Amino acid sequence: MTNTLKELSTKSAKKIVLLVMDGVGGLPREPGGKTELETARTPNLDALAATAECGLHLPIGYGITPGSAPGHLALFGYDPLEFPIGRGVVAATGVAFPMKPGDVAARLNFATLDPAGAISDRRAGRIPTEKCGQLCELLKAVSIKGVEVSVRPVKDYRAVVVFRGKGLSDLVADTDPQIQGVKPLDPVATDPKGERTAQVTKDFVAQARKILASQTPANGVLMRGFAELPHIPSLQDLYQLSPVALAVYPDYKGIARLVGMEAIEDLADLEAQAKALPTVWESHDFFFIHHKYTDSKGEDGDFDEKVKEIEKVDAFLPRVLAMKPDLIIVTGDHSTPAVAKAHTSHPVPFLIAGEGVRSDGTQKFGERACARGLWGTISGQMLLRIALSYTGKLKKFGA
């Protein structure tokens, strides 16, 4: 189907906005009650829904709880099962490290090793991010012939390392044994292609150990999730789009870049996103706007705060509509009900408004209202192609 879509794609001047409230799908606080979205006062979203085609979408599939990366891949029109994104890549793109094809990234945890070399604390007492940054600076001293080594802090004791050089591969097993009281595992190739990277990793770990020897409590490193960039065909290549991402969090800029989007830097909040939109409007035709805090508040278990975040997006919506996009999709990448304090598999409400839609009379943008919308419950991977076709970006199939 991907090849067919690519063959059908055609350039058009029409502009599509994809507005994502991360983790917007929710659950009632008590049985029979309303979800966060149903509770929120959303006059602008409701007015838009009344002109729209609505439904619920499953980002990956029935019963599958999406991580953020696969949830977004689905919204960008990809099958997340076809393009698994490794932990190392998520970490690297998350801190906006510009990975290139052939680079190998891995998650790095600073850990505490006892005098015998066994792991006494896998998280080095959860050192603060600032300390993590200082340790990453120290690791700049690592030198491996023919390999460029980059280490970047992520959060707390977590960092990411990227190896760049010839003949590298992600076919290397974790060195993190995931338990304490034992030594870190030796890096082992899981395939002959991984031999060189295993050797590089061994060298890296040994040098890191020496550099960190006098540090307390973080005197060692554990590595997991070795990953290369997935070979994802870009949105330009597939659909001739000129896509741009307006996201605050690095993770989402990273995922957007993986599919070929330009990602605007230094956007602090919705206000900054609203101001940036006109500056990129003429030069692009696909606008991914991402709001993180609906998910964050859901993860915190804070129903009321999640409601407020949805209301903030509702207040922001007119500034997007003021640009007069030809078509706008409003949805989430997965559900993060406050009562669950986690991502869940529940289908996510969506609306498609603008060019060529059959409005279905949905009066309120919410889970139960959208379930009765025109589309019912469909795969999240279909939203983009519906938008493309409604805006003349997919030609007729067959004579």
Shortest Cβ 73–a second copy spacing (Å): 8
Q: How far apart are CA 182 and CA 187, in angstroms?
A: 15
Shortest Cβ 302–a second copy spacing (Å): 18
Nearer residue to a second copy within complex by CB, 7 or 191: 7
| Best CA proximity match to 314, nearest among 99, 45, 112, 116 | 45
Shortest Cβ 105–a second copy spacing (Å): 12
Shortest Cβ 164–a second copy spacing (Å): 21
Q: How far apart are CA 227 and CA 84, in angstroms?
A: 10
Tokens (6 digits) for 385: 């192609």
Nearer residue to a second copy within complex by CB, 92 or 320: 92
Nearer residue to a second copy within complex by CB, 46 or 367: 367
Burial of 179 (0-12, 13-18, 19+ CB in 10 A): exposed
Cβ distance 71 to 85 under 8 Å?
no
What SS3 state is found at 335?
strand
Shortest Cβ 69–a second copy spacing (Å): 5
Nearer residue to a second copy within complex by CB, 32 or 181: 32
Cβ distance 347 to 78 under 8 Å?
no
Nearer residue to a second copy within complex by CB, 63 or 181: 63
How does DSSP assign 234-278, residue by residue?
PHHHHH---EEEEESSHHHHHHHHHTT-EE-----SHHHHHHHHH
Cβ distance 31 to 302 under 8 Å?
no
110 bridge partner residues: 221
Interface residues with a second copy (CB under 8 A)? 1, 4-5, 8, 27-28, 31-32, 35, 51, 56, 60-71, 80-81, 84-87, 90, 225, 337, 340, 342-346, 356, 358-361, 367-368, 371-372, 374-379, 382, 384-390, 394-399
Shortest Cβ 155–a second copy spacing (Å): 14
Nearer residue to a second copy within complex by CB, 102 or 392: 392
How does DSSP assign 18-33, residue by residue?
EEEETTBB---SSTT-
Nearer residue to a second copy within complex by CB, 93 or 219: 93
Cβ distance 359 to 51 under 8 Å?
yes
Shortest Cβ 386–a second copy spacing (Å): 5
Shortest Cβ 27–a second copy spacing (Å): 6
Phi, psi of 311 (to 5 degrees): -65, -30
Nearer residue to a second copy within complex by CB, 266 or 397: 397
| Best CA proximity match to 12, nearest among 282, 395, 391, 398 | 391
Nearer residue to a second copy within complex by CB, 259 or 270: 259
244 bridge partner residues: 262, 287
Tokens (6 digits) for 26: 């929710």
Q: How far apart are CA 311 and CA 166, in angstroms?
A: 50
Shortest Cβ 151–a second copy spacing (Å): 19
